[in-house]
Chains A and B, each alone.
Chain A
Amino acid sequence: MLRLPWFEHRAPRSVAEAAKILAGEGPRAMLVAGGTDLLPNMKRRHQAPRVLVSLRQVDELKKLNGTFGAGLTLTEVVRSEKTPIALRQAAAQVATPHLRNMGTLGGNLCLDTRCTYYNQSYEWRKAIDFCLKKDGTVCWVATASKRCVAVSSTDTAPALIALDAVIKLSSAKGEREIPVAALYQNDGIDYLSRTPDEILTEVRVPAGWKSTYWKLRRRGSFDFPILGVAAAAKLDGDIVSEARIALGAVASRPFLIDKASEFLKGKRLTDEVIAEAAALVANRAKPMDNTDMDLYWRKEVADDFAAYALRELRGDDMRETRQRIARYQPAA
């Protein structure tokens, strides 16, 4: 049986208390909420924090009034009537129902980047002499790369980026709010702009966006995305007045496709417009050979997935396509 290494466990009751512990312990402490990302990593010795600061008993992280507390489980996010569609669809497709009962919104946003050379046991990694992300010097995905290219695998982040959401980070020094996109850096190791003493406490999502999220993965559950397309738009009749399209799982961070967003502004979502916008989106997808499925194929089908998302925004009935591809039927 794989087991956790020894650690000290702290269970603060408030954000302030948690922030104080983080400030005091420094980098040897790590936050844990649902545990679905950190605990497997600890079992495989990716991380071995001396102190685990559990956020489970911090009730203020479970608020759901205008904002989404970072401590809400993904199941709670899915069930809330206030959840915008893209976020609900993203949260509903994370991992499995059981893991969604455990994993939190904040945890999914802070999900460690993933890579086939990294998400392996200590012994396996030793057999390849480790890698740039952890304990080694070479990035085996791109041996010439000085930068770790581990892939951002969060589903909720692209959805929230498309929805123009903002997050709040709290530390012993104070609070700050940043757009979700600004939480991420295109570096597989240093993938968050969050400092180690900061706690992601809540997510604020502006209203008024029509939105959708499409996830590509091999199986209907368990799997992380190999492509995530989130699209949000404000429509004036059938004219797009504003649009935001974000991609996940094709870089070390999720990101907004500015060009596609600008392109769509003021246009009617005709087949031609969708095809052109989808091409702009696909152009930015730079998958690496570090996750499931053939990377050339992932690059090649990115425009189709972007088009599915845009067609759904237009009002096309995409349920059958979605069922076939994602084995997912969003609740009516």
Chain B
Amino acid sequence: MKPHRLAMSVNGEKVETLFAPYKTLLEVLREDLALTGTKHGCELGECGACTVLLDGAPVLSCLVLGMECEGRSVQTIEGLARGPDLHPLQAAFADFGGSQCGYCTPGVIMAAKALLETNPSPTRDQIKEATAGNLCRCTGYQQIVDAVEDAARRLKEEAR
């Protein structure tokens, strides 16, 4: 079978790539675009490690066909920082213990980013709900919630 040609927007930039048509968005990002910041823990939709934003909403890239991303917009952890400066979510995860081994971090941060865009002042329960699709084996989630809360604070300060 012939490789498939795909044009989509990744982190705000147009990209074109050729890939084996059976590949999911996860494989295209990691293997064909060398964006290995997006992780994988099961490839079956059971862990959340591969969460990216597709047209702004958190989805599991392991269950999105690469072919179905034509013309769509994908955001990954690589596109989050603001030039040399960290996004407030990234800074907060680094500062408050939101990452331990760091493997679930990109997925959790992307889910949290989508949350803060629609709900700038989430409660702790709302943060847990929004990240309930991301398993973490290190943190017990508490410092993840701390980090998202702090990022919300930082983002609100910026907005003022």
Contact = CB atoms under 8 A, between A and B. Distances in A.
Do A and B make up one complex?
yes
Interface of A: 1-9, 11, 32, 34-36, 39-40, 43-44, 52, 54, 56, 75, 95-99, 101-102, 220-222, 329
B22 A7 contact: yes
A3 B48 contact: no
A39 B129 contact: no
B63 A222 contact: no
Residue among B21, B65, B125, B135 facing the most chain A CB atoms (10 A cut-off): B65
Residue among B51, B57, B111 facing the most chain A CB atoms (10 A cut-off): B57
A8 B21 CA distance: 8
A9 B67 contact: yes
Given A54-B68, A222-B46, A222-B132, 13 more contacts: A4-B22, A4-B23, A8-B1, A32-B65, A35-B65, A39-B24, A40-B45, A43-B44, A95-B133, A96-B48, A97-B132, A98-B51, A222-B133
Contacts of B125: 329
19 contacts: A2-B42, A2-B44, A3-B27, A4-B23, A5-B22, A6-B1, A9-B67, A40-B63, A44-B44, A95-B45, A97-B111, A98-B48, A99-B60, A99-B63, A101-B59, A102-B64, A222-B132, A222-B135, A329-B125
A331 to B, nearest CB: 11
B80 interface: no
B68 A98 contact: no
B43 A1 contact: yes
Mostly helix, strand, loop or mixed at chain A's interface?
Answer: loop
B130 interface: yes
B43 to A, nearest CB: 4
Contacts, number: 88
A107 to B, nearest CB: 11
B58 interface: yes
A34 B59 CA distance: 10
Given A3-B23, A4-B22, A4-B24, A96 B57 contact: no
B113 interface: no
Contacts of A7: 21-22
A101 B58 contact: yes
B44 A99 contact: no
B65 A9 contact: yes
Contacts of A97: 58, 111, 129-130, 132-133
Interface residues of B, number: 31
Interface of B: 1, 21-24, 27, 40, 42-46, 48, 51, 57-60, 63-65, 67-68, 111, 125, 129-130, 132-135
Nearest to B4: A9
Contacts of B130: 97
A43 B60 contact: no
A96 B62 CA distance: 14
A52 B51 CA distance: 23
A54 B66 CA distance: 12
A161 B47 CA distance: 31
Contacts of B46: 40, 222
Contact of B133 (A1, A11, A39, A99): A99
A96 B67 CA distance: 24
Nearest to B132: A221
Contact of B27 (A1, A35, A220): A1
Given A98-B111, A222-B46, A75 B57 contact: yes
A39 B63 contact: yes
Nearest to B47: A222
A222 B46 CA distance: 7
Nearest to B125: A329
A3 B132 contact: no
Contacts of B134: 98
Contact of A220 (B24, B45, B60, B132): B132
A31 B24 CA distance: 17
A34 B67 CA distance: 13
B58 A98 contact: yes
Given A6-B1, A98-B58, A56 B68 contact: yes
A95 B60 CA distance: 12
A41 to B, nearest CB: 9
Contacts of B21: 6-7, 9
B141 to A, nearest CB: 11
A40 B23 contact: no
A98 B129 contact: no
A221 B133 contact: yes
Nearest to A9: B67
A98 B51 CA distance: 8
